[in-house]
Amino acid sequence: MNVSTILIILLIGAFATYFSGDKLASKVALLFSLAALGCSIVLLNNFSAGENISVINSWITQPKISFALNADGLGLAMVLLTAALTPIIIFSSFGNEYKNAKGFYALILFMAFAMTGTFLAADGLLYYIFWELALIPIYFIALIWGNGDAEERRKAVVKFFIYTLAGSLFMLTAFIYLYQKAGSFLIEDLYKVELSACEQFWIFLAFFLAYAIKIPIIPFHTWQANVYQKAPTAGTMLLSGIMLKMGLYSVIRWQLPLAPIVAKEYMYIFIGLGIAGVIYGSIVALRQKDLKKLLAYSSLAHVGLIAAGSYTLTLDGLRGAVLQMIAHGFVVVGLFFAAEVIYRRFETREIGEMGGIRTQSPKFTSMFLILVLASVALPSTFNFVGEFTVLYSLSQINIWFAILGGTTIILGAYYMLRMFQHVMLGETNSKTFADVSLNEGISFAVIIAVLLFFGFYPKPITDLITPSLETILQVINKN
């Protein structure tokens, strides 16, 4: 078995879901997403046993394009994140009814297919194709099944689409230039290209524009909060839990090794942008009255810290960034699902209209509290492992970076606990809050189990990703 198997499962699953009809669509989508998860676990076992599960085949002769998928530890970690979160997202959507459900769930699987391909692609043009394909399903998911006024939703989604597409065109231009130098789009050939400092500057900048919009890094974040708010919760989960990781992963896989001179020379600037996102996201989150918007800005703060860790060019920084990517994926999906559970009962996302949930639903309150504490990186949770490692790497570069980056913990604790107090405690809302259903409880239990298990024992993921990161650092340090 090679890594193309998981792509085949997801692609077939998308078509099977669409043709299964609205009544069966959710169950068929869940079945195929679980099959993809099972396949990813088998691939992990084969990889750990020393099998070559990568694949490379000639695809187009002129220009020279290969169907190349590389499954190293870093790529597999991101594939496992996608494969694990996709069934959770689908299963958590069972409590909602969607018009044209077959289209909705088919698009989720197709998006998982595209994102998985992005994490595995070892050919620049193939990578670009998967990168762009992932944009199409989320555009329609947010546009058709989103929340609020249709015109406002359309404006938010179109802005997101144009921003992302424009950034991607700069990246495509960079790949074409690199192809002219290397005669190939294969990543191993692109790594070997010798570029002047000036050439690297423009290559680095082209990739940065694409990734800074996708992550997002300020000042390229202006699309994020509105799209997160307007998209259906499943769409918001896909965006925050997985899709933004495409940008963070790509910084490590593509940007830094292809332009290491610029990465080293301007390191302080890009670390500073990441930390600025931490502070800005936290301060703006403090002022939010809409629960989804608060979580959106909280996410902006956390990914800013991840980006800062990536640009340290240290093993601890890269490792901490990847660990935090995975941890953030689970916790942000859990938090947005909690917001959806509240909306199902109260039919509002305004924090001021909530309250008193603790007295009506102790189980939900306990699970929500664990997610909140994981979000603020309480020791023994997965987020603590990632954030501590990133902050340690920042301290190696400059202690002030670590101090400023650490504000995500202080400010995050303040606005998240204050939000918890307003939402869960206080006076009881006039509407009844039913306790969590079996489906909702299972979704929360799986997410919390992952956050606690890897909070106590992150070694399996650390051992998986470290060799790949060391190889990337070797490429960076050759220049």
Spell out the domain ranges in the chain.
Answer: 266-479
Q: Mean pLDDT over all residues of the chain? A: 92
Instruction: Give the long-range contacts of residues 467-473, CB within 8 A, separation 24 or more.
Output: 467/72, 467/73, 468/72, 468/73, 468/74, 468/75, 469/74, 469/252, 469/315, 469/318, 469/319, 469/322, 470/315, 471/72, 472/74, 472/252, 472/253, 472/256, 472/257, 472/318, 473/313, 473/315, 473/318
380 torsion bin: left (phi>0), alpha (psi -120 to 50), beta (else)? left
429 — pLDDT class (breaks 50, 70, 90): low
Average pLDDT over residues 312-339: 96
427 pLDDT above the threshold of 90: no
For the packed helices 438-456 and 73-92, what is the interaxial angle rounded to 10 degrees? Answer: 160
Answer whether residue 7 shows pLDDT above 90.
yes
Q: What is the pTM of this model?
A: 0.95
Query: For residues 256 and 191, what is the distance between their CA atoms, to the nearest angstrom?
Result: 10
* pLDDT at residue 132 is higher than 90: yes
User: Helix, strand or coil for residue 442?
Assistant: helix
The most confident of the ranges 87-91, 147-151, 402-406 is: 87-91
Is it the case that residue 360 has pLDDT exceeding 90? Answer: no
Extract the tokens encoding 81. Answer: 């994140």
pLDDT at res. 273: 94
pLDDT tens for each residue of 336-357: 999 999 998 888 888 888 888 8
Quickly state the pLDDT bin for 370 (edges 50, 70, 90). very high
pLDDT at position 148 over 80 = no
46 is written with which tokens?
Answer: 């084969």
pLDDT in tens, 181-219: 998 999 999 999 999 999 999 999 999 999 999 999 988
Q: How confident is the model at residue 479 (pLDDT cuts 50, 70, 90)?
A: low
